[in-house]
Structure 1
Amino acid sequence: MAIRHRIAPLAAVLALAGGLTATAAAPATAAPPASGKTTEAAAAGGTYLSFDKNQSDPGDSRLSLMKSVPDARDTVLATYRAGSGDGGPDGKNECATSQGWLPNGTYQVLAHDAHYNGGDQGVNGKVIHVQDKVCENGRTTRAELFVHSEMWPEGSQADPQPGKDSPYRWEGADDYRSLGCIKLSPADITHLFTQAGRHGWPTELKVVS
């Protein structure tokens, strides 16, 4: 039976510079790093993630799992609809803390976790944790950055609450909005985890315009 209780908040709750949760209704809280390790065996698989920003609709961007092919064009293993940024006036400003989408560039994948517990109102469930990144102004660091969805740590969905947006339940297109992190639907992040397990866990995330 799925666990549906509220998650106890962490002892120390801090506002994030990057963005952990899905919507303005669910403010971000500080969270520990994901627990899984990117192993040497995974690195040998030659896979990476590529996030392609949609300038006309950030919530309809694309995240792809790619395989590097020496002396040839890289292979697309899977592609998913994804979002980054809150969709507001500063949603495409990579230096807008907790509002803008991720800065362009290459990020190291730090870890992955299928049952991450980020605390009350935080990121939970399947996550991929990537390194912090200084944005284009050279001063602002976007931190606590994840590829994630909306679910409980064990992967289930919260019960529907009419008129309320839950950070633990995927309710529609608005859930692609984030405070900076890359958001996928629960079905898509589950598929991504399956494909990464099959082809090798990605060691990098490349964010491009």
Structure 2
Amino acid sequence: MSPHLQGSLFDQSDDVRLGPLSGLRRTALGDGAWIDLLPGWLRGADALFTRLATEVPWRAERRKMYEHTVDVPRLLAYYDAGDTLPHPVLDEARDALSSHYAEELGEPFVTAGLCYYRDGRDSVAWHGDRTGRGGHEDTMVAILSVGAPRDLLLRPRRGGGSVRRPLGHGDLIVMGGSCQRTWEHAIPKTTRAAGPRISIQFRPHGVL
């Protein structure tokens, strides 16, 4: 796989490292849901994108929707608790997030799911991480994005306007509180020119 990424003009470093989490800013969404956002948490994000795109054992999936089996419009990889992550900085990120949110979350982040959006045709439909414990209790999902920015949309399940956050080039977003069961999120398809993006989702045990 040979991704073509238009690199960030503000982050040309090959030194892949995390910044402090002190710059996180929280936005209350309503119904007990919130998001924390930290642009550019990861320096050298474009270098990490290239390594992940070329070295992670990506898999394509097919899923049944209604009466048809269709291709999932993105590539996937999953690392369970105890698995070796594909770059040491991801272990550092998971540990830093676990430490920062220890009092509020009450447990560590343990799994890492990766999604590779190759271009604007790749997407993920509206959903919440409600298959596991997120369907009936408050939890957190932290997403680190590398590669070109793509819009993450959030909307309340009961109806209402959406919130848009472009994420890429080392940006961090944490969805917390009741967000997984009272709100939905999506990465919509786009007809605009869109470079490739990889998201790394850190979750506690039992949150799917």
TM over 0.5: no
> What range is the shorter-chain TM-score in?
under 0.3
Asked which structure has the greater RCO (Cα within 8 Å, sep 6+), the reply is 1
The structure whose residues are more often strand, as a share, is: 2
- Structure 1 or 2: larger helix share? 2
